[in-house]
Structure 1
Amino acid sequence: MRIGLDWGGTKIEAVALDDAGTELIRRRVPTPRGDYTGCINAARDLVAGIETETARPATVGVGIPGSISPVTGLVRNANSVWLNGKPLKRDLETALSRVVRIENDANCFAVSEARDGAAAGAHVTLALILGTGCGSGIAIDGRALDGRQGLAGEFGHTPLPWMTIEEHPGPTCWCGRKGCNETFVSGSGLERDHLATTGERMTAAEIAASDAPAAQATMRRYADRLARALAVLIDILDPDTIVLGGGISNVDRLYECLPELIAPRVFADAWSTPIVKARHGDSSGVRGAAWLWE
């Protein structure tokens, strides 16, 4: 049995999968925000509860909104800031009395969709999470690609390509830089752009669903920016499948317009990579964490 933990800012979710990927049990608890020790204890109790209920031992994989530094072994770049600088792997292994595998949550998403999701069978999978923030994960033959520094897929904190005069230098990102992709192609970036352009405060879902000309114009700007960001990733990685997840992935018109917006910007005479919606939806991250033991 494999247990996956998805360590989010508002909830910690756990799922147990059998060897075929069938879900055996799922549990979630609110994240003890700001309480590192409380988070460790919550994860420990979720695993113990599942193992007791199923009467089966399990491996444990964890997806986190950050990464483990290969130099220090400490968490870095987590927007759940109370994790940063903490020896999470060591502390979880102590609490659970076993080896634990930890990956960035976008990498877990990529692994899930490559293993038995929308990109099943793909050699190279690029998976984007487009939610409150944005990030990407890469899976090669169903296994997460970390990179030497553990930074593979960190497109959210690279600059928006081919900025217009009006876009430059871009909004200030939480990372301290200006013009990061995250400030443009996340759900919060979509909302910021609409507010700045129209003075109208709407959620990303409301903007996407609206037939108002101003909202439609906002979505056209968003799609163009996402296409630019993707074109650079395609030139570098040339993936077999691109999978979209997060709230923005539910905007069906993106799957129609992105290919024609991307194609002229890709450095090739032809481009045909499919862009698809995540098969497992919001469950993909926690399933991918479980599949880290494969």
Structure 2
Amino acid sequence: MSKQPAVICLDLGGSFVKLGVMDAQQQLTILDQQKIPAQSWPDFTALIGRMIEQYQQYFSADSPLAISTAGIVSPESGEMFASNIPAFHQRNLNQSLGELLQRKVIVHNDADCFTLAEALAGVGKGHKVVFGAILGSGVGGGLVADGRIITGQNGLTGEWGHGPITLTEVDIAGETVRLPRQPCPCGQKGCLDSYGGARGLENLHRTLHHISMSSINIIAGWQQQDRQAQRTLQVWLQLVSQPLAYTINITGASLVAVGGGLASVTPLMNALNDEVQRYVLRSTHHPLVVPGMFAHNGGMIGAALLAHQTA
């Protein structure tokens, strides 16, 4: 078997482009990070071309370009839906960038790529079905079964943060807390995304206490036994754990790898695991919900592994 070439890796977010390279031993090296020209396709492609040319000593002419990106990739047309990055919204990045750079280009959603990285090389290694739960600024997800990303209709899979599923009543120590269904940027009302991620936690705290506070300070207050912060996190844990338990029941996942900023708070992840174990049909002796190993670069690692799968 011939040696696989190094893979050029890009992570495309709403603010930055991150460039890296994965070698034949599947070791990722981060090379550069630049502010993304989010509004202009010519500026975006010019930046990508310059970045690759600047670090061309790290890969070869036949190295594929693997891209992990915010947004959804249509499995039918390859068209991107990334409204927060107009530079390539409604474009086929595989085709367009491939023609410009004269390389094979593989593009996939960043939550899916994170989940693949965790399933193949991270905390989900050895598990048949792994769900990736993103608890960052918002709520997202991905699903991997038998080492392959499950890509559903229109590229949507694992989007447990959307749909009118949020509880409107939560019982805390004998008190019934009533919550309004919040409008979501996706166009629906009552999505978990409104309360579940870091911005959602801030929204929840504001709804419960009429106080604006950063998610970092809310979590710090919770750890320091602050009464208001504790109440907010008690409500948050119920709001998040029940949809996540439903997701585990539906997908059959034996492990949930959590990514995003909230995954870095180990006591919070432990508490979330305890809550989820209460609601799944069959609890486990091993933790079901665990922080991922690749919180910072999981998307790039997963995209590169996907490029190896499709070589």
Taking structure 2 as the reference length, the TM-score comes to: 0.86
C-alpha separation in 1, matches of 2:92 and 2:152: 20
2:190 alignment partner in structure 1: 179
> Counterpart of 2:193 in structure 1: which amino acid?
E
Greater relative CO, 1 or 2 (CA 8 Å, sep 6+): 1
2:73 alignment partner in structure 1: 68
C-alpha separation in 2, matches of 1:8 and 1:77: 10
Q: CA RMSD in A?
A: 2.0
2:211 alignment partner in structure 1: 200
1:280 alignment partner in structure 2: 294
Residue 240 of structure 1: CA displacement? 2.1
| Equivalent residue in structure 2 for 1:54, among 55, 58, 71 | 58
Residue 114 of structure 1: CA displacement? 1.6
C-alpha separation in 1, matches of 2:163 and 2:132: 16
| Equivalent residue in structure 2 for 1:114, among 119, 141, 147 | 119
2:97–2:105: 8 Å Cα contact kept in structure 1?
Answer: yes
> Counterpart of 1:135 in structure 2: which amino acid?
G
C-alpha separation in 2, matches of 1:244 and 1:100: 27
2:270–2:290: 8 Å Cα contact kept in structure 1?
Answer: no
Deviating beyond 3 angstroms after TM superposition, the runs of 4 or more aligned structure 1 residues are: 70-73, 269-273
Deviations 1:3-39 (A, max 9, x none): 2211001101121111221124422111112223322
2:74–2:80: 8 Å Cα contact kept in structure 1?
Answer: yes
> Counterpart of 1:38 in structure 2: which amino acid?
D
2:174 alignment partner in structure 1: none
Query: Cα distance 1:127–1:55, how it changes in 2: closer, same or farther (>3 A)?
Result: closer
2:258 alignment partner in structure 1: 244
Query: Cα distance 1:55–1:155, how it changes in 2: closer, same or farther (>3 A)?
Result: closer
Deviations 1:179-217 (A, max 9, x none): 112111111110111122222221111111113211111
| Equivalent residue in structure 2 for 1:265, among 273, 276, 279 | 279
Larger radius of gyration: 2
Query: Cα distance 1:37–1:229, how it changes in 2: closer, same or farther (>3 A)?
Result: farther
Matches for 1:62-101 after TM superposition, within 5 Å = 62-76=67-81, 78-101=83-106
2:259 maps to 1:254: no
Residue 274 of structure 1: CA displacement? 2.4
2:170 maps to 1:159: no
| Equivalent residue in structure 1 for 2:246, among 232, 254, 259 | 232
Residue 222 of structure 1: CA displacement? 1.2
| Equivalent residue in structure 2 for 1:137, among 131, 142, 145 | 142
Gaps of 5+ in 1: none
Taking structure 1 as the reference length, the TM-score comes to: 0.91
Gaps of 5+ in 2: 1-5, 170-176
> Counterpart of 1:167 in structure 2: which amino acid?
L
C-alpha separation in 2, matches of 1:56 and 1:99: 12
Query: Cα distance 1:130–1:79, how it changes in 2: closer, same or farther (>3 A)?
Result: farther
2:160–2:244: 8 Å Cα contact kept in structure 1?
Answer: no
Deviations 1:31-63 (A, max 9, x none): 11222332222223323333x232534111111
| Equivalent residue in structure 1 for 2:202, among 181, 191, 195 | 191
Deviations 1:236-291 (A, max 9, x none): 1121211111111122222322233223322x244455221111221111221221
